Structure 1
Amino acid sequence: MDLLKEGIDNKCVLATTLTKKLSIDNHTQTYTIYKIRLDQLYYNDQNDRIATWISQYKAENGIDRLDMDNKEQYNRTIQSFITDSNPEALKKTQNNIELIGQQEPGVVLADGRIIDGNRRFACLRNLEQKTEQTHYFDAVILEHDIAHNVKEIKKMELWLQHGVDKAVDYNPIDRLVGIYNDIVENKLLTVREYYISINKTQSEADIQREVEKAKLMVEFLEFINAPKQFYLARTMNLSESLKDLYSMLNKVKDDDIREDLKNNVFAQLIMAPVGDTNRYIRKIGKIASNTRLLDDYLSEQSQLVEKVCDIVEHYPVTTERVINEQIRAQKELQDNFSHSTEKWVSKADGDTSRNRPAHLAEKAYEMLDTIDTNIFKKMSDIQKDDIRKKLDLIQQIIDSIRDELDV
């Protein structure tokens, strides 16, 4: 059904006197806001907020796409994802709508697909079921279809969700999935276009870093034999670990060592040797920062990484159940990873302690070197005497350090 034709004719869609400005394809226009009966609408399955939930549903049901033949069943399925992804946010929005009504209009396509306002739509559906009264969704209706306008619709969706003074409460992994799909996989947008679409709320450099983290996420899923099963990255809470891994890899210049380090971290992410994986991966970062130790650490753990690869190969597809009940049941392997890492972290900490005096001496030199001696001419005698006293104290400390060095 075309909401702007049959919808209006059938009284399912009612025009209001309110309007909303939208910018589409660099053209800003004022659009009428309509009241649309809920049964005429359906969720957007390309909503980045629920990207990992959709990937999980597809994986668990062995399907490539969601069945849209039964629109109500489709809506119930998507609504469960929206609810589970952030139940507190949904509850807060629903309470607000119940109290004062829908304040922010959504944006829908003429066929009923919701581009902006999926959570508000979910709240109204809940309230309609609760009150057993017909509810309407306030929204702009665009004469676009997603098949021929996918790029412009995505840009508009990003602008609406990032650039209109609204907090974007994406799960960080869902955000990475959206960035990967839009910029890397489908090449729908360039980094520059994405940056402009989110109203420049992040720098291009920040978005490029997100792209690289998203690529690492995809590589990890391929490493564990779960290609594009993005929900695993969410359930494993990998956002901080991916950030730390990205930082580690940037400090390593040798390509072979970079690859070994990446595979080592991937292996330990799936094994989870200790409870707090994010904190554990940060410890590896200490070792990665020490070029003298890193190669030996990776060599010692190489056999452990190979064992992880062998275990993963036993399963046609790695699922959450396989990870929790099979792979992470290898307690001896987990302990070996942990003991080895703790040993090398201690060595890295020792190196840091030994190098600390040199770092502090260098810092002291840099601070003193920044003094502009020309300013002394403008100082009073009292100010100059104060500086001389402090220099005397500094000299005493230097003499004491030199004496200790000569022992």
Structure 2
Amino acid sequence: MTLNDKPRRSIRIALHQDKGAGRNLERLLLEQGIDPTATSITADVVIADLTSRVPTEINSVASQLREISLDKPLLFLVLPSQLDLPQVKQLAKNETVIISAANERALLAEIAHRTLDTDRASEAAIRLQAISATGLGALPTHHASPEASALLIAPPGPRALDLSSELSLHTSLNTAMSRQQALSALEHGVADRIFILPPQNRRQSAALIKLLRRHSMMSGTPVVVFEEKPNDRHRDYWTRMGADAVVSTSEPALASAIATQRRRARDAKVSSENLLKHLSFTDHGESSRLCSPKFFDSALALRCRSDMTFCLGSLRLTPHSGETHPQIFTEPAIYVALGCQPADLVTRAAPDTLLISMAGADLHHAKRTMRMISTLVQDLKFGTQTAPITFSAKTHIVQAGPGMQPRDLIRRALKGLQASKPADVLLA
């Protein structure tokens, strides 16, 4: 998970456990800086810990939690030994089921993803309202993508053939039985879910997953690994490598259900990301990462009336050459806008000054974002090769609070630049 894929604020969890359950999960969440004491109303994510539930309780618990968490992501945590239960198999078809492991790495990753998705969806809703308020822009045209199928990567042999045959009963499937076939399929992006049956040397499959996660346009594609008899060691290893789940080779239906649920969550994430990239408009109604002040002000006013966590940052560019012509600031301003996250809205308050609204960011994470942006600008040369222009940058950040007015926020953000130190020592 990259920095852009992590929430920029503290996370609140509503943790529902049986009274006889231990406190290990609660302690683990606290160690990760996650508050596990929220209610279903105030939480970002609801977790149903089923690890201590008897089979006859699972359906009723699931039903109750669905009713109280209709507007929240709901995750079900189960033990590996519970995967054989009919109730859990049925649950996995329609809900996000996380297989518990010693360090709960998979659960923590899913919590982060779902929180980030929720923040982006909230920001998209605000920008849609801003479109209506300003009359600027329109929803991007949807282009249907070609239908993709699942991909099984497995070493040639009877086990691969049997598994391919069983998986094909549950999903459209292609099978790659060599590294070259697998790389070719991944290069062309033909799979929306990936199943891996690792060879005896697991490092080959691990390297493939790491390549997929770090450098591929398919970095968000769900990956489920098969093991003959998966244990905690397997789950910890494959989760560290980037797999979403580890399932027994005897459970292809469960593997297909888990991969499908992860794909749906990924599709929602991609949709919100792509939507936000296009929901930023100029005064002419054209989509641009550098939006007009009118659209920016409308979105800021709507955000101030919401309960969303956010910060407003300001950045002032100063050319080392001493030039002041407005045109020289255009190129670095575009670079700043492109360097921001999709949920960040950027506008120019003046030729040399930018305002950056960071949705879902608390003060600590907003400082990190502004430091990255200012470093990006200060490390680059603009202008022409024969007459390069470099810039220094100052930044200031204001954290929004209850009842704050948009004009006051902007005034504070701009006024703070006067006393601000250069951005490269802002956090020293």
- Give the TM-score normalised by the residue count of structure 2: 0.21
Q: Which has the higher helix share?
A: 1
| Higher Cα radius of gyration | 1
- Give the TM-score normalised by the residue count of structure 1: 0.22
